[in-house]
Chains A and B, each alone.
Chain A
């Protein structure tokens, strides 16, 4: 185990991850990398079929052609979410080829990937670098994985690939529609999922790129979200995913009166703070409360004839309705959460597909996230210094992905609408179990028991002063919650072993996750 060092937010983090040097978090905006971007090897058309047909027999053949060997890094993506059948198929084929110690570099993993545990156990996969939830999160949390997991935000993943921090040997891109040349799109086909933005970096930087489709069309596949000129081989499978599970489970409006109250308070806050005005922009994540917030906002905009310039998605039917109703000029979409979103992206020029490069990449010439007037996000825990946790639960277990969460903190106003406690689990605590977002970037916390504003944002405080909003001090709120829950909760009893490192948007290590004792 490498040495641990205290970083700029006071967390002990490893200086070495899986044998490579790691840089501790230095503060928001402090770390400035030097040098040039990574680059894939130069190829020549002489080595590719002139008729453009790059189809090979099957996954095993493709992996063999790609030169798969022990210790390589294979990447996959989560745009098919819990319906994905490609990642499991890739590693099953790799297992058949008898390779060992692979690094799996998914943009996120889902419960559907539980079979990978067997391959982690048998040695085919060495470790996972990517957000984990469900069974894989549990497996990693209990210290069973050989290497250290590395969790990055969507933007951080793009940055890591671009900077050469993660070298992808083979990228496998699930493509709902593709042509034999490798042009691919996600907005149509039986397993249409919207867009393929998470695979963009991989298509540009990996040594070898394989597109996998279950809907082969003759050249050209239009539109091409992934360019065939970056693709080495095309594999056709019977099915790349279960279409019914591609739609996110978190796209239902909440029916909980308490969550609705939180969503309503959030919308009212945005109003009182002067955020809701002509030409503004917002992003609301998936999840019932964020969706309901968008609905309250929509009603407010309708009533006052206010129009947004753009909305960032996670698109869903509600955002699509707003676009079609003319309440926003554009949806800048990072991932589509339901079939209405997919349809709109296919049909509506105002529904633009984006990628972690445009929206979130910190090592770029700016990114969209920082241009947003307001972003509404979830969290598992928040502490009295406004630091937030999004990856582990209060018991220290890895249970959620980071997604674009960290990247979104760059917005002009970041609001976390969260319940004050879940059952008997306080959400507002002394110190978060895992620090994923530094408090200086989190402006407002909205709970059913009041709204608390970061003292760094005196401007926001001044704007809502005198309104009927229930503005409370964060310490008073915490005391109230502990009064209800029966005192402050005990700290989780965690082991010494570091099972996962959490990387900030700039690639530095902001915190790590310890083994959970079973």
Chain B
């Protein structure tokens, strides 16, 4: 029987995606049967892409059947490659379209990570506009959002997305799978300007070190940042060790769905059951000098609940929240931002600090109160953040003086 593989989705409900079946033949060249909702607009372009792809993947003779519902080129290419590799599991060639110049920007260890938007790795239609909603980070997810049978397809799709999709300045993150499968995932993404690798269900610093070592081999010396996720009782217990395990770790996140299951209870809105773990992860992260990042808020319709949850997390000391819907992003940013009262107070402290410095005084005082150094440090962070999120002008000091 001829080798055959198929990939993608078909049917009337599919949008911006396609289904491709490849049957490897012994002779006769390429035979392409294409039905596409954009046949009139891009039919020739699709045929050309399929022909180029087969050449890249070393396929000379094949029957290729395509049902296209308006898939973008990077999606078509991914589906073709997956179908070919399902037909020929030993095929090690890749079909890489040119890298977009919108995919080459870098990141910064200390950048804001208030919101991170999860994108299931096999749902390319959600990728294209994700950056327009201005999350601090996008997570192309290879783990829980991908069915076991689609793990291979997700790796190809996520690699292609990293090369093609403009995430508009958002930090480019990928959540890999657990264990060896996760280490295998790295080969698909390390060379394609991934900024942060999220490591799920970490319970042990060695898991982080394994990922860091594998990345070092694959990335050609470019540092890829790490964000371990704590999702179990044991992980929470070892939060500090995990956060401090490797210099590339920039943040420590907590995932509460799995954690609450692990401790034998259910997640509640109040979160009493996870209070210890969240405190522990927060302290572990801060002790190791990395950012503490809170879990996702999973009710996409409850914006008030989300706002309360972010305010609570911010109150605990967390600096980021996971999002599963783009509309959650502005709510998170707004709630994470320093309040007007916080900014006013911080400005006064910073001004007092500046004056003390100018006068060469060792002690900062505001009115009759002496201000401790940590309070000054926090005030500086608050005004810096306020400037960063646009709630305070960069030159506020000048306005302060002239005002």
Contacts and interface: CB of A to CB of B under 8 A. Distances in A.
B72 interface: yes
B367 interface: no
Interface string A445-475: 0001100000000000000000010000000
Interface stretch (A26-34, A308-316, A322-330, A489-497): A489-497
Given A258-B132, A422-B70, A448-B132, A485 B326 contact: no
B222 interface: no
B73 interface: yes
A257 B326 contact: yes
Contact of A489 (B38, B49, B128): B38
For B44, B49, B166, the residue with the greatest tally of chain A CB atoms inside 10 Å of its CB is B166
Given A257-B325, A258-B129, A261-B132, A490 B70 contact: no
A395 B129 contact: no
A32 to B, nearest CB: 40
B45 A486 contact: yes
Contacts of A448: 129, 132
B69 interface: yes
A277 to B, nearest CB: 25
Contacts of A493: 40
A434 to B, nearest CB: 15
Main secondary structure of the interface of A (DSSP, over half): loop
B133 A394 contact: no
A484 B128 contact: yes
A451 to B, nearest CB: 13
B345 to A, nearest CB: 26
B71 interface: yes
A257 B327 contact: yes
A423 B129 contact: no
B269 interface: no
A346 B66 CA distance: 53
Contacts of A394: 40-41
A424 interface: yes
B326 A484 contact: no
Contacts of B44: 490
A260 interface: yes
Nearest to A422: B70
A423 B132 contact: no
Nearest to B117: A257
Interface string A40-62: 00000000000000000000000
A425 B327 contact: no
B328 to A, nearest CB: 9
B120 to A, nearest CB: 15
A366 interface: no
B41 A490 contact: yes
A449 to B, nearest CB: 7
Interface in A347-400: 394-395
A260 B166 CA distance: 20
A423 B40 contact: no
A264 to B, nearest CB: 9
Given A486-B42, A490-B44, A424 B16 contact: yes
A468 B100 CA distance: 27
B47 interface: no
A258 B15 CA distance: 15
Contacts of B132: 258, 261, 448-449
A492 B133 contact: no
Contacts of B63: none
B15 A423 contact: yes
A260 B42 contact: no
A98 interface: no
Interface in B75-114: 100
Given A257-B325, A423-B16, A489 B41 contact: yes
Nearest to A494: B40
A220 interface: no
A180 B72 CA distance: 60
Given A257-B325, A257-B326, A485 B128 contact: no
Contacts of B166: 484
Contacts of A449: 132
Given A486-B45, A486-B72, A490-B44, A425 B129 contact: no
A490 to B, nearest CB: 6
Given A260-B327, A424-B70, A449-B132, 4 more contacts: A423-B16, A423-B38, A424-B41, A486-B72
7 contacts: A257-B326, A423-B69, A448-B129, A485-B42, A486-B49, A489-B42, A490-B44
Interface of B: 15-16, 37-38, 40-45, 49, 69-73, 100, 128-129, 132-133, 166, 325-327, 390
CB-CB nearest 3 A-B residue pairs? A423-B70, A489-B41, A257-B326
Interface of A: 257-258, 260-261, 394-395, 422-425, 448-449, 468, 483-487, 489-490, 492-493
